């Protein structure tokens, strides 16, 4: 085959394949698989509705079984519209309440969390060194006074006055300490979001304007910003500092055991370390990084060691003496691996997802052309997100269907009562109460109390008076359960007007006074009504559905369903 003929042949095959697929798609879109109220229902709509409850590729027979159920559902929807239920005030009130609350939840999952995670992920690449002045207002503090003090603090920083002096001069005092000062290195999720948002927008050397967090009013200076130093997995041998030289001698002895005697790490930890929390983990103290809440002096000594380090020389910190072992530095195989790790951290950050004002603020930042308010949140969410519009529509349909079922199927009318009474009279033998005990059961924490009760009842006193006569005794009476329900006792063979033995039950003691055995008998009509009506309901529902199908010309088209299904399976296979 020549080159030009081969190209023409290949193009012909491609065209044929595209034509077949287009025909398959067209078949699914144009062949109605049923009608309701003379309106065609297509395969795609049926398939979409089926997929809401079944998460797998359907078999043809499953769709054949589902089709009449779906058409009956659509007939109920049509009946609801004709009956004015979509304008029913009680339904609309419940719908509005649901959609408003659901809008907040939807925005959190679809807008706020993705927005914040993207921001969190980007910020997690950086570490910031920040100084801040914090004034915590009291009831007597004037806001104008706070503004004056913080603006003066801002001027002093810009003049180059030492930061410690600025902090001492202007920050509030809490529990004897200044609330401001220079923070350890921070990254995404280290501080509250209101603080983080401000400092991550600063340039190095820039002082912020006055801003507020849940802790009070701040100004902040970005001292430094650098790429985040990867965390490292750290183990240590730890010796507590003592006033004499024994601590130094012991840490040096541990070091010689490693360096000179060649003893393995876990053995040295077990024999020398005075950190009981980490000894059982071979000295492991976890992943250490600059943004963890540990003194910066300690962090600098750990984070500047080479990685890996089999064991360091003895190092003194404010905690005591250590030999550090650096196992590894945290790295990620790819972006997905990093994203999974950050998502775990993100989920532990205390964002205010339950705060409606916070949700609205974040949504408005994400969609500046769409204004979200407490009054219009449901309308705004419906207009912006087709999937939420579908959720809202489905919920309203569900309320209407519930009302239809309640009015026309579940609630008994005069005609139903006549039908149920006829069923009862015709099938009395089906509705019986079996032989059962009529008894009183007594409970108390003290077995001697139960003994007093047995004596009291056996003396001819009514068991119904026990509750009022004996403090600390609980009483239950039953005459409707079968014997098997009182599993602790064999009441079937017990004589009437006698007590069972006293037995422990959970944290108390119990005994049963058997009054008599009630004989097997027919239920009265009133006793049997609920059971009969539940058996009758499917018949009533089917009659209602049949009336709806006639009223709205409901019809299945199974040949079209089979043809559309073939097109559907063909397109999935190709």
pLDDT by residue (tens digit) across 31-68? Answer: 899 999 999 999 999 999 999 888 888 999 999 999 99
pLDDT at 464 over 80: yes
23 pLDDT more than 60: no
User: What would the two tokens of residue 408 be?
Assistant: 């026309």
Tokens of 105: 């939840």
What percent of the chain is helix, strand and coil (3-state, nearest 5)? 55, 20, 30
Q: Is the pLDDT of residue 285 over 90?
A: yes
pLDDT at residue 24 in the model: 44
Asked whether the predicted pLDDT for residue 18 surpasses 50, the reply is no
pLDDT at 482: 44
CA distance to 131, 292, 301, 520, 541, per residue, from 183 (Å): 6, 12, 18, 80, 69
Q: What is the pLDDT of residue 15?
A: 37
> Percent of the chain, pLDDT > 90?
80
Check if the beta carbon of residue 42 is closer than 8 Å to that of residue 568: no
3-state SS class at 153: helix
Q: Are strands 232-240 and 284-288 parallel, antiparallel or unpaired?
A: antiparallel
Say whether pLDDT at 297 is over 90.
yes
Q: Residue 487's pLDDT is what?
A: 67
State the pLDDT at residue 484. 42
Structure tokens at 279: 């000894």
Residue range 360-375, pLDDT digits in tens:
999 999 999 999 999 9
Backbone angles phi, psi at 226, to 5 degrees: -145, 160
Residue 471 has pLDDT above 50, yes or no: yes
Question: Mean pLDDT across the stretch 381-385?
Answer: 96
Cα-flanking dihedrals φ and ψ of residue 504, to 5°?
A: -75, 140
Token code pair at residue 540 = 């009533």
Instruction: Return the pLDDT at 36.
Output: 97
The rounded percent of the chain whose pLDDT value lies above 70 is 92
Instruction: Convert the pLDDT of each residue in 418-440 to its tens digit.
Output: 988 999 999 999 999 888 889 99
Any idea which of 87-96, 268-277, 398-407, 480-489 has the lowest mean pLDDT?
480-489
Query: Do 80 and 548 contact (CB within 8 A), yes or no?
Result: no
The confidence score (pLDDT) of residue 349 equals 92
**What pLDDT score does 570 carry?**
75
Q: Looking at residue 573, what is its pLDDT?
A: 65
Residue 487 C-alpha from the chain's centroid: 39
Nearest to 49 by CA among 27, 28, 69: 69
Q: For the chain, give the mean pLDDT.
A: 90
Indicate the range of 87-91, 331-335, 534-538 predicted with least confidence.
Answer: 534-538
Which pLDDT band holds residue 16 (cuts at 50, 70, 90)?
very low
Compute the distance between CA of residue 317 and CA of residue 299 in angstroms, rounded to an integer. Answer: 10
| Sequence-ordered list of residues with C-beta below 8 angstroms from that of 392, at least 6 positions apart, any chain | 95, 99, 102, 378, 382
- Burial class for 374, CB neighbours closer than 10 Å (0-12, 13-18, 19+): exposed
Axis-axis angle for helices 89-107, 377-384 (nearest 10):
70
CA distance 218 to 163: 14
Q: What is the pLDDT of residue 414?
A: 85
365 contact partners, CB below 8 Å, separation of at least 6? 115
SS3 of residue 478 by DSSP = strand
pLDDT above 70: residue 534: yes
Q: Residue 193: what pLDDT?
A: 94
Q: Is the pLDDT of residue 86 over 50?
A: yes
Task: Determine the pLDDT at residue 140.
Answer: 59
pLDDT of residue 404: 96
Residue 566 has pLDDT above 60, yes or no: yes
Tens-digit pLDDT profile for residues 480-520: 444 444 667 888 889 999 999 999 988 899 999 999 999 99
Strand ranges in 503-554 using DSSP code E only, listed in sequence order: 503-505, 508-518, 521-522
Q: In whole angstroms, what is the distance from residue 321 CA to residue 297 CA?
A: 13
pLDDT in tens, 308-332: 999 999 999 999 999 999 999 999 9
Mean pLDDT of 67-72: 96
pLDDT at residue 28, as a whole number: 56
* Residue whose pair of structure tokens reads 């089979």 in the numeric block: 562
Q: Is the pTM of this model over 0.75?
A: no
pLDDT bucket at 141, cuts 50 / 70 / 90: low
Confidence of residue 281 (pLDDT cuts 50, 70, 90): very high
Q: How confident is the model at residue 165 (pLDDT cuts 50, 70, 90)?
A: very high
Confidence check: pLDDT of 388 > 90: yes
Q: How many CB atoms lie within 10 A of CB 491?
A: 19
What's the pLDDT score for residue 139? 58
CA 230, CA 325: separation in Å to the nearest integer?
A: 16
Is pLDDT of 13 > 50?
no
Closest CA to 482 of 506, 510, 518, 515: 518
Are the C-beta atoms of residues 558 and 64 closer than 8 Å to each other? yes
The Cα 323–Cα 239 span in angstroms is 9
pLDDT given at position 19: 40
Instruction: Label residue 54 left, alpha or beta by phi (over 0 means left) and psi (-120 to 50 means alpha).
Output: beta
Structure tokens at 382: 């419906």
- Residue 343's pLDDT band, with cuts at 50, 70 and 90, is very high
Q: Which helix (H) or strand (E) holds 380?
A: helix 377-384
Q: Is 18 exposed, middle or buried (0-12, 13-18, 19+ CB in 10 A)?
A: exposed
- Candidate ranges 96-100, 500-504, 537-541; pick with highest mean pLDDT: 96-100
């Amino acid at each position: 085959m020549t080159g030009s003929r081969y190209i023409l042949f290949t193009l012909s095959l491609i065209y044929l394949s595209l034509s077949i697929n287009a025909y398959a798609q067209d078949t699914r879109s144009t062949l109605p698989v049923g009608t309701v109220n003379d309106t065609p229902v297509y395969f795609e709509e049926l398939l979409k509705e089926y997929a809401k409850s079944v998460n797998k590729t359907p078999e043809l027979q499953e769709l054949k079984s589902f089709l009449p159920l779906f058409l009956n559902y659509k007939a109920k929807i049509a009946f609801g519209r004709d009956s004015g239920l979509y304008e029913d005030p009680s339904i609309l009130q419940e719908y509005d309440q649901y959609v408003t609350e659901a809008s907040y939840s939807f925005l959190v999952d679809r807008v706020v969390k993705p927005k914040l995670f993207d921001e969190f992920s980007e910020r997690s690449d950086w570490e910031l060194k920040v100084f801040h002045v914090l004034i915590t207002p009291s009831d007597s503090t004037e806001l104008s006074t706070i503004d004056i003090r913080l603006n003066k603090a801002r001027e002093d920083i810009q003049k180059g006055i030492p930061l410690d002096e600025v902090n001492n001069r202007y920050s509030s005092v809490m529990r004897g300490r200044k609330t401001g000062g220079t923070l350890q290195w921070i990254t995404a999720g280290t501080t509250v979001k209101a603080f983080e948002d401000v400092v991550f927008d600063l340039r190095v050397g820039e002082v912020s304007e006055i801003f507020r967090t849940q802790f009070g009013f701040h100004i902040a200076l970005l001292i430094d910003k650098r790429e985040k130093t990867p965390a490292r997995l750290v183990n240590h041998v730890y010796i507590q500092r003592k006033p004499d030289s024994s601590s130094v001698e012991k840490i040096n002895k541990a070091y010689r055991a490693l360096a000179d005697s060649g003893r393995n790490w876990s053995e040295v930890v077990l024999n020398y370390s005075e950190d009981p929390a980490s000894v059982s983990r071979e000295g492991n103290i976890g992943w250490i990084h600059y943004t963890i809440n540990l003194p910066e002096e300690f962090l600098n000594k750990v984070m500047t060691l080479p990685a890996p380090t089999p064991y360091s020389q003895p190092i003194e910190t404010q905690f005591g003496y250590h030999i550090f072992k650096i196992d590894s530095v945290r790295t990620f195989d790819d972006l997905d691996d990093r994203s999974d790790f950050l998502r775990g951290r993100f989920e532990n950050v205390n964002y205010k997802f339950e705060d409606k004002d916070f949700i609205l603020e974040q949504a408005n930042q994400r969609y500046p052309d769409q204004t979200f308010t407490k009054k219009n949140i449901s309308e705004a969410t419906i207009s912006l997100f087709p999937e939420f519009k579908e959720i809202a529509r489905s919920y309203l349909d569900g309320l209407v269907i519930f009302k239809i079922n309640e009015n026309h199927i579940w609630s008994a009318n005069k005609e139903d009562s006549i039908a149920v009474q006829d069923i009862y009279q015709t099938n009395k033998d089906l509705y019986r109460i079996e032989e059962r005990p009529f008894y009183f059961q007594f409970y108390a924490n003290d077995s001697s109390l139960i003994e007093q009760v047995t004596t009291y009842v056996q003396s001819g006193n009514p068991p119904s008076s026990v509750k009022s006569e004996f403090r600390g005794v609980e009483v239950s009476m039953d005459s409707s359960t079968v014997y098997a329900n009182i599993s602790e006792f064999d009441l079937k063979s017990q004589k009437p007007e006698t007590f069972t033995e006293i037995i422990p039950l959970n944290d108390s003691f119990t005994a049963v006074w058997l009054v008599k055995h009630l004989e097997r008998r027919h239920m009265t009509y009133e006793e049997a009504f609920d059971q009969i009506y539940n058996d009758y309901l499917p018949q009533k529902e089917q009659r209602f559905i049949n009336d709806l199908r006639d009223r709205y010309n409901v019809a299945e088209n199974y040949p079209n369903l089979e043809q559309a299904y073939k097109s559907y399976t063909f397109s999935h296979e190709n």
